Chain A
Amino acid sequence: MKNQKLKKRIMPWLFLAPALLVYCAVVIFPIIQSIGFSFYDYSGIGAMKFSGINNYLKIFKNSSFRIAIRNNIWLMLGGTCIQMIVGLGLAIILSNIRRFASTLRVVYFVPCIISSMAICQIFAKMFSITPEGVIPGIMKLFGMTPIAFLSDVKWALAIVIILDSYKFIGMHMIIFYTALMDIDESVVDAAIIDGCGLWKMYTKVKIPMIINIIVAELVILVNGTLKAFDVSYILTGGGPGTATELVATYMYKTAFTMTKYGQASAMAVFLAVESLLAVGIVRLVGNKLQQKY
C-alpha cells in the first residue's frame, strides 16, 4: 500500500523530469547566468571585470534605454487593448455565424502562421512612399497627402503596435472562440427564456463565464508585449531615431552591436523583473475579478 502511494507520487515527476530538465537548462540556468553577467563588464574579448551595480546605474542613466521602456509601455497598453478587444470581438462574431465560420477562422488565423519577416516586408512595401506603396496610393486617391508612416516619429510606434497586434489577433480569437463555444447551452437557453437580449447575454452571462480565460489571456498579452522584438526590429530597426526602440531591441543591440554583454544582461534582468511585476499585478486584479464573477 505504501509502495503504491509512493509510486503514485513519483510517477508524475518522472514524466515531468525531461521537460523540467530542458526548462531548467534553457530558461532557469540562463537567467541565473544573466544575473551573474549583469555585475560584470565584458565585451566578449579578454577577461570579465567585476563592476558591481554599475551596469544597472548606467542603463537607467541612458536616455535611449528610458525611451525604450516608455515605448514598450505604450506597446504593452496599446497591443493588449487591440488584441483583447479585436480578438474577443471576432470570436463573438464567429460564434454567432454558421456559414463560412470555419473558413473565416482559418483566414483570421493566417497572420499567426506567416513569419514576422514576411509580414514586415509586405507592410514595409505597402507603406513605402518612394516607390509608392498601396497605402500612400490610397491616401492620394482620397485627396490626402501621403504620410511616410514608418519614417515619421509620430506614427512609427503606432504602426509597430498595430502590426504586432495584427500578427497575434488570430491566436487570441481562437482561444476566446473555443471558450465561448464551451459554454453550456442550457445556461444560454435559460438566459434567453429569462428575456436576455444579445448585449446582456454577452455582458452578463457569457463574458463573466469565461473570465478565467480572459485573465489568462491578459497575462499572456502583458508578458508577450513587454518582450516584443521582431516587428520593431525588422520593420524599423528601432527607428526612426529611437521612436520604435523597445527594451528587447535595445538589449539586443547593446549585446551584439555594442558588445556590452554586462549592460545587456542588466537589461535582461530588468525585463524579467518588469514582466514578473506586470504579470503579478494582472493576476491580482484577475483573481479579484474571478471572485466577483
Chain B
Amino acid sequence: MNDIKSKVAIVLICTILGMILAVQFKTVENTIGSGTITTQRAQQLAIDYKRLQDERDSLRNELDNLEAKLKQYEKGEAEKDVYVENLYRDIEKFRTLAGYEDVQGPGIIIEINDPPAEVVIGGESSIIVDNYDFILQIISVLNATEAEAISINEQRYTSFTEIVPAAGHLEINGVSYGPPFVIKAIGKPDDLENSLRIKHGLIWRMENLLNLDIHIKQEQNIVIPKYRKIKEFRYAKPVEEASN
C-alpha cells in the first residue's frame, strides 16, 4: 500500500517537473528569440560582409591602377613643357592640401585604446567612443602644431571629415571602426609629440581621467592614404569676381 502511494507521488512530481521545464524553455525562447535562426542570420551577415569587403578591395585596386595611369600621362606631358610642369606641380600641391593624394613624411603615430577590461564599468560601450570629442581635440592640437596631413584609422582627415559615434564604433568618413584608434600625423615629430604631452595636457587628461591606454611613437616615414570620396559642392558656389 505504502509502495503504491510513493510511486504515484513520484509519477506526479515527474509530470510537474516536465511541465515546468517545458514552460521554462518556451519562455527563454520567446524572450531571447529563436536561437538557431539568429545564429544562421548572423553567419549569413558575416559572409555578406566578407564578400563586400573583398569587392571593395578589388575596386579600390582598380581605382589605384587607373589613377597611377592618369598620373603617368600627366607626368609625361609635364616633362615636355616648363609651363605645364608648373601647372602639374600646383595640382599635386592642391591635391595634397585637399587630401586627394597619398602622402608620406616624418611624423607621429598615436594609438588610443580602451582601458584594460577590469576597469571598464558596463557592457559593450567603449570609453574612447563615448568621449570622441577628445579625438577632435587631439586633431586640433596637432593642427596647432602645424601637422600637414592627418589620418584616423586609415581615413584621411579632410575638411569634410565627420566623426560619428554609433554603437561602440566611430564612423569616420562613413566607415565604421572600433577601438583601438590610430591617429597618424605628418609634421615635425618632436613638436607634435611634445605639444600633446605638455604637463596636465590632453594626453595626461585622457590617461588619468579616462584611464585610456595611449601610445605615441615618432617615425621617419609615415604614409597617409588619400581621401576616397567624391566631394562636389551642391550648395557652395565660388564668389564671382564681378559681383564684388
B partners with A: no
A contact residues vs B (CB 8 Å cutoff): none
B contact residues vs A (CB 8 Å cutoff): none
